[in-house]
Amino acid sequence: MSKQNDAKQYDVVVIGAGPAGYVAAIRCAQLGLKTACVDKWIGAGDKPVLGGTCLNVGCIPSKALLESSARYEEVQHSFGEHGITASGVELDLAKMMARKDKVVGDLTQGIVGLFKANGVDWHQGGGKLLPKQQVLVTAHDGTSETLLAAGDVILAPGSSPVEIGAAPLQDGVIVDSSGALAFDEVPKRLGVIGAGVIGLELGSVWRRLGSEVVLLEAQESFLGMADEQIAKEALRQFKKQGLDIRLGARVVSSETGSDGVTVQYQDGDGDHTETVDKLIVAVGRRPNTEGLADKEVGLLLDEWGFIHVDDTCLSNVPSIYAIGDAVRGPMLAHKGSEEGVMVAEVIAGEQAEVNYETIPSVIYTHPEVAWAGATEQALKAAGKAYHVGTFPFAASGRARAAGDSGGMVKILADAGTDRVVGIHIIGAHCSELVAQAVIAMEMGASSEDLAMTVFAHPTLSEAVHEAALAVDGRAIHIPNRKR
């Protein structure tokens, strides 16, 4: 094995090219810093690609399949009410998967172009942090090593699906989220362990395409991180669609056989058995920090493998930063990207921060579920006085015209200042609508500010306006509840 003796010098070296890492690298380069990005991801055709989990086997391919499966279901079940008759509708799963792969390929190639345009050096291979801000890059085939040195290093290794002993992965039969995006046929009966964001999205894709889907969730509550009122409505709508969601169901074992996978689980009523053709394990993710840094670096990790960082994402080691899924906070691509921008600007000597209180979360099911800020149960638990305004999409002219009027907008405002402290939405396109309230919260706006803003008619966004009006009992298109 050959090894380069003289380290290549950079201002910044980034390990990881997911949404946190590649954004950090680009922003560093924009700020005039000589930047390198190290990444070990291998994509289709055994070729190195950028984008990490999100672009290759996460956010983007899952949304492509969610979009395609939604259209397939719509043409089968919703066109009739619009006076459109469609016959001979068939599913070409291979073509759907090929489209998904093309979307992924186009976007990953786009990052290659952005690196070239901004002068970011892409080093292909695994990166390991050494003392004195050095990074050892080992080629994918292990035949060569390159040593990089920098003034600052940004760690953005991302995360991987958690595996469980009760359901060890078996190629093509018991799979993680990545495998669930690559089935070559629609399972007749599909099991999903975990009814969180990933489990619900993947379950929705395959239900729309014809699978009978059973989700086994160990927690007794559904979507515990969301507002309880919204979560309750989501559970109702998902069950109505045909998703068989079983709460308090703890999987204890699984066994593959000629007839599929036999899953043993326990709940409050005792022991149960389910047989499915395929089983998806979607119980969370863990940071990819094992082996990331040499022991001599002294990088501090917690018991779960997360890197300890301060408010600017600086680790316990000077000049070593960590961002994205490897640090505290929600494992969201946009959170990691904003941390990448912040760290780049801090390294360049600028003032920067991330407001973690206004980071939106989205579940891309149908209906979508989106929120930002405090939930009602959190405000109650904290003893904070607040006002609530809600507005159902059933009263929205645009939603009615679209034939998609399920769900609501819920706004929470501080009782003393009237500042918007939480927004919770379930309904069509709420992944886009939530941004309006996030902007309001970021600017310190009140519900009155939103109420005084003119929204176009007819639009779905009027529901945000009406919910803001409802905070003060002034909604126009629904009866206002008495205080």
Q: Are residues 362 and 416 in the same domain?
A: yes
User: Does 16 share its domain with 144?
Assistant: yes
Residue 398, helix vs strand vs coil: helix
Contact 420, 412 (CB under 8 A): yes
Pair type for strands 285-287 and 159-161: antiparallel
Total domains in the fold of the chain? 3
What does 304-365 look like in DSSP terms, one character per residue? Answer: TSPBP--TT-B-SSTTEEE-GGGSSS---HHHHHHHHHHHHHHHTT------GGG--EEE-S
Whether residues 437 and 390 share a domain: the answer is yes
Looking at residue 5, its pLDDT comes to 53
Q: Which residues pair with 274 in a beta bridge?
A: 263
Closest CA to 190 of 164, 216, 153, 218: 216
Q: For residue 369, list its beta bridge partners.
A: 363, 426
Dump the DSSP string for 234-272.
Answer: HHHHHHHHT-EEEET-EEEEEEEETTEEEEEEEETTEEE
Which of 310, 329, 354 terminates a domain? The answer is: 354
In terms of domains, do 317 and 406 share one?
A: no
Choosing from 235, 257, 283, the residue where a domain stops is: 283
- SS3 sequence of 368-396: EEEEEECCHHHHHHCCCCEEEEEEEHHHC
338, 371: one domain: no
Render each residue's pLDDT in the chain as its tens digit; 483 residues.
334 458 999 999 999 999 999 999 999 999 999 999 999 999 988 899 999 999 999 999 999 999 999 999 999 988 989 999 988 899 999 999 999 999 999 999 999 999 999 999 999 999 999 999 999 999 988 888 999 999 999 999 999 999 999 999 998 999 999 999 999 999 999 999 999 999 999 999 999 999 999 999 999 999 999 999 999 999 999 999 999 999 999 999 999 998 899 999 999 999 999 999 999 999 999 999 999 999 999 999 999 999 999 999 999 999 999 999 999 999 999 999 999 999 999 999 999 999 999 999 999 999 999 999 999 999 999 999 999 999 999 999 999 999 999 999 999 999 999 999 999 999 999 999 999 999 999 999 999 999 999 999 999 999 999 999 999 999 999 999 876
Whether residue 64 is found in the same domain as residue 155: yes
Closest CA to 285 of 266, 268, 301, 305: 305
Q: Which domain holds residue 395?
A: 358-471
* Whether residue 454 sits in one domain with residue 366: yes
Shared domain check, 310 and 397:
no
- CATH of residue 371's domain is 3.30.390.30
Residue 123 lies in a domain: yes
Q: What pLDDT score was predicted for residue 483?
A: 65
Domain contains 166: no
**What's the CA gap between 243 and 473, in Å, rounded?**
36
**Amino acid 481: pLDDT:** 81
Residue 369's φ and ψ, nearest 5 degrees, are: -125, 130
- 260 and 338 co-located in one domain: no
The answer to whether 420 and 387 are in contact (CB under 8 A) is no
Active site (annotated) includes residue 457: yes
Do 372 and 347 sit in the same domain of this protein?
no
Same domain, 368 and 350: no
Instruction: Name the catalytic one among 140, 424, 457, 477.
Output: 457
| Helix/strand/coil percent split, the chain, to 5 | 35, 30, 40
Residues 155 and 298 grouped into a single domain: yes
Tokens linked to 374: 């405090």
The CATH number for 336's domain is 3.50.50.60
